[in-house]
Amino acid sequence: MPQTGWEEDMLQKTIRGVVWALARLRIPSPLLARTDALARLAVAGLIVYAMTEGATPVLWLFVATEIGGSAVQFVALRGK
């Protein structure tokens, strides 16, 4: 079955996410941790924006996990 543009886009984003996760595991550097923490905050902001535009409020769960993950990374960075 041929993929539509949306499906191909999601596949590419998933692959990038997996590559990023593997890089973070293989190279646990403060720079990557800081970048990941900031990116999580950006994603949380985008989700909140989507909700202001009418997206389902259940996305607050994802906002919480992104902010929580970011906080954990920043706390871990304080020790380095």
State residue 2's pLDDT score: 58
* Segments in the chain below pLDDT 50: none
Q: What is the pLDDT of residues 14-25, one digit of tens each?
A: 888 888 888 888
Q: What is the pLDDT of residues 4-13, one digit of tens each?
A: 677 778 788 8
Residue ranges covered by each domain of the chain: 28-80
pTM above 0.85, yes or no: no
- SS3 for 40-73 is HHHHHHHHHHHHHCCCCHHHHHHHHHHHHHHHHH
What is the DSSP secondary structure assignment for residue 79, as one 8-state letter?
A: T
